[in-house]
Amino acid sequence: MAPPTTGSDASRVDRSSPLPLWAQVLADLRRRLDAGDFADAFPGELVLVDEYGVSRHTVREALRRLRGEGLVVAERGRAPRLAGAVEIEQPIGALYSLFASVEAAGLRQHSVVRTLDVRADGVVAVRLGLEESTPLLYLERLRLAGDEPLAVDRVWLPARLAAPLLDVDFSHTALYTELSRRCGISLTKGTEHIRAVVPTPAERALLNIDDQVGALAIDRLAQRRGEPIEWRRTLVRGDRFAVTADFAARTGYRLDVAGTLPHTHPHTHKPRKLR
């Protein structure tokens, strides 16, 4: 086989091998990743086509497999890059602000406000313990971290309490900060259901991810001294956000198994000790 025009001997493929070309490219890219060959930057598709002397379709199939293994990240209009550790980690068991979590990670938090109005939503009102026609303040934002999409965030609050928030510019401020400052409301506790989901095509477009990247759906009901105040549904990119939990040999950990529907109550199990 004639050598490729560029690249090392180890980057060649064997056209007489029964192994498909994409599989050979994939295996060699794995080897090179393990060897640290791409510490500075991961090559683009056209560079790999030239190095291996194969078609762009072959390279794309190898890259698709690498994305599936979580080794490489590729987004619309951007060159492939090495997948690093998730940028934002949030501990389970804390009433947290996504705004604060992002900035604590050293990233600038910015939001594109898609909707801020008052509306009725019978399903959400019931979740908040209200009559179905109760007016609710609704805020929908595309949350960005470091100028890259992170999450689509949708929040409902009773309008009688949260109406002053209609005048807030939420492009760079925390909802909980404004809720406390303008409405005199500080949330004290809440419950969350976190599950893996397949985003819709419209959601993928908003988050700028392809079909190889999953997402976490986080449903939150937050309270003030036992009174439901906030219902929130957040869809967050799985490649940029993770939840963590602490556990100990003596106290074990608590596993709450929730149903697939957002309104299903979890079945709580006793803490299990490590074995």
Q: DSSP per residue over 127-148, as a string? A: HTT--TT-EEEEEEEEEEETTE
Distance, CA of 122 to CA of 263 (rounded, Å): 13
- Supply the DSSP symbol for 84: -
Distance, CA of 38 to CA of 209 (rounded, Å): 23
pLDDT at residue 203 tops 50? yes
CA 72 to chain CA centroid, Å, is 16
Q: What is the pLDDT averaged over residues 118-138? A: 97
Residues 167-181: b if buried by 16+ CB within 10 A, e if exposed: ebebeeebbbebbee
Q: Are 186 and 230 in contact (CB under 8 A)?
A: no
Distance, CA of 107 to CA of 84 (rounded, Å): 15
Q: What is the pLDDT averaged over residues 24-28? A: 89
Q: Which residues contact 249 (CB under 8 A, 6 or more apart)?
A: 273, 274
pLDDT score of 219: 92
CA 251 to chain CA centroid, Å, is 30
Report the amino acid identity of residue 183. C
The alpha-carbon radius of gyration of the chain (Å, integer) is 24
Q: What is the pLDDT averaged over residues 53-77? A: 76
pLDDT at residue 46 tops 70? yes
pLDDT bin (cut points 50, 70, 90) of residue 64 is confident
pLDDT bin (cut points 50, 70, 90) of residue 7 is very low
Nearest to 187 by CA among 173, 176, 203: 176
Report the amino acid identity of residue 202. A
Q: What is the pLDDT averaged over residues 213-241? A: 90
SS3 content of the chain, % helix, strand, coil (to 5): 30, 30, 40
Distance, CA of 137 to CA of 118 (rounded, Å): 4
Q: What is the pLDDT averaged over residues 37-56? A: 85
Neighbours of 245 (CB within 10 A): 10
Report the amino acid identity of residue 101. S
What's the chain's length in residues? Answer: 275
Q: Are 216 and 236 in contact (CB under 8 A)?
A: yes
Instruction: Answer positive or negative: Cα dihedral of 183, 184, 185, 186.
Output: positive
Say which residue the tokens 């409301």 belong to.
Answer: 185
